[in-house]
Structure 1
Amino acid sequence: MKKSPAPAFLRPVVLTFCGLLLLPGPASAEAARPWWQPTSAFVQAGAAEHANAAVLGLTWDWSWRRDLGWGRFTGYWEVSFGRWASDAGGSSAHAWVTQVGITPVLRLYPGGGDTGWFGELGIGANLLLPIYRSDDKRFSTTFNFGDHLAVGRRFGERGAHEVTLRLQHFSNAGIKEPNPGEDFLQLRYGYRF
């Protein structure tokens, strides 16, 4: 049986993701910080139509940044570990899913600098074990993309605190059907070391 080619909309997503992977790794501005040491940690809670999620994670800042007349672009790597609870099986039973992900994230600080308001976007790879299901949705793969848009604010001494509101979508981008996807609204608190 002949395989059909990947959907046309998937090519830009894959090219964008591969381009992000070519960006430099963790920041080397702090010579005392080893490359493997994270720059921040976060906790995150989210809700979808029929599921809730709790996520912990670490981030590694990039040394890459671009200052434009209207703002500063920078980024980071995010590694996350989460648990989802869905309403699969009715109100008395819950399906638990473990999420493990890695995501390159681009961040924009309007007006420049590394503190204050920011916007960000990311597209990453996630494993959902076992396959996610709820009363009305069933994913077909354990591998899924997680893309997000977010707005947040960095504040406090050294800009050590962050609060972010995120909209995140998980799906397999048409690798296999069914592919209903799931959308989470998430609130995140991050602390920079």
Structure 2
Amino acid sequence: MKVRNHNNLLGVTLGACANKTSLTANFTMKVSMSFKKNLLKSIAAVAALMAANAGFAADDKLIDSVYGEYAKGVKVQMVRAGVTSNWDKAWFVSNGTQLSGYWDASIGGWDAKSYQNVSGQHQKLWDLGFTPVFRFENTNKLGFYAEAGIGVHMLSKLYNNDDDRLSTHFQFGDHIGVGYVFNNKWEVAAKIQHFSNGGYKKPNSGVNYMNVKVAYHF
């Protein structure tokens, strides 16, 4: 009788543990999926708002393009939306080419997949950025181009993913990239981007991304 009761108690305990584990896994999955859906909805809403504002302001030359980006790094990915405003300046004009530039304002969401070096544990954060960018392009602003920029970013949380840590919310973001602007005003580009605080405070492992970009010009 004692053995039977002990076995029954053990079975109930194991069953409860299994149910708890299942509930925890389901809750974690639902939270992760919910965050991703909300992040994508937020980015889409921001992009739509930016597009509406850009369309309204195009004649006044306040906003010249809107864009979306997807970026991937080591155990981290990012989705970003932004707007740009041309400087309407040109240097070294020669043989149909020039050096020009623009202001870039953006909002993005990071999804790190190894928070505190625990595989599968996610860290979600927001990134607000503002960057001056120099672009070597054709004088008609169409066709191939190359660009480089360094700007400032504010992260909503201190990044701690895999073996990489950023000890400040404020970060510098620099990038180099190449792209192509089509006659129908659409643009595609690829970039390499690096985030760090410039050694202002340790730890400062830095974060690297490979970005793909799609933009529309007004």
User: TM-score, normalized by length of structure 1?
Assistant: 0.78
Question: Pairwise mapping of residues 109-124 of structure 1 onto structure 2 (< 5 A)?
Answer: 109=137, 112-124=139-151
Of 52, 59, 65, the match for 1:33:
59
Of 148, 154, 158, the match for 1:131:
158
Q: Which residue of 2 aligns with 1:162?
A: 187
SS in 2 for 1:33: helix
SS in 1 for 2:59: coil
CA distance in structure 2 between the partners assigned to 1:120 and 1:40 by the alignment: 16
Higher helix share: 2
Q: Which residue of 2 aligns with 1:57?
A: 82
Alpha-carbon spacing, 1:134–1:32, altered in 2? closer, same or farther (3 Å): closer
Unaligned segments of structure 2, at least 5 residues: 1-56
CA distance in structure 1 between the partners assigned to 2:217 and 2:124 by the alignment: 30
Contact 1:67/1:112, CA 8 A, preserved across alignment: no
Q: Which residue of 2 aligns with 1:28?
A: none
CA distance in structure 2 between the partners assigned to 1:181 and 1:65 by the alignment: 33
Q: Does 1:152 align with 2:165?
A: no
CA distance in structure 2 between the partners assigned to 1:176 and 1:73 by the alignment: 34
CA distance in structure 2 between the partners assigned to 1:170 and 1:191 by the alignment: 26
Bigger relative CO (Cα 8 Å, ≥ 6 apart): 1
CA distance in structure 2 between the partners assigned to 1:34 and 1:156 by the alignment: 22
CA RMSD of aligned residues (A): 1.7
Q: Which residue of 2 aligns with 1:72?
A: 98
CA distance in structure 2 between the partners assigned to 1:32 and 1:126 by the alignment: 26
The structure having more radius of gyration, on CA atoms, is 2
Of 121, 135, 145, the match for 1:93:
121
Q: Does 1:81 align with 2:118?
A: no
User: TM-score, normalized by length of structure 2?
Assistant: 0.69
Q: Which residue of 2 aligns with 1:107?
A: 135
Q: Which residue of 2 aligns with 1:192?
A: 217
**Structure 1 position 116, deviation (Å):** 0.3
Superposed CA deviations along residues 16-70 of structure 1, whole A, max 9, x for unmatched, are: xxxxxxxxxxxxxxx98335x3111000000001200000000011111124325
Contact 2:58/2:64, CA 8 A, preserved across alignment: no
Contact 1:75/1:105, CA 8 A, preserved across alignment: yes
CA distance in structure 1 between the partners assigned to 2:139 and 2:216 by the alignment: 21
CA distance in structure 2 between the partners assigned to 1:149 and 1:32 by the alignment: 27
| AA of the residue aligned to 1:177 | K
Q: Which residue of 1 aligns with 2:31?
A: none
Q: How many residues align?
A: 159
- Percent identity between matched residues is 33
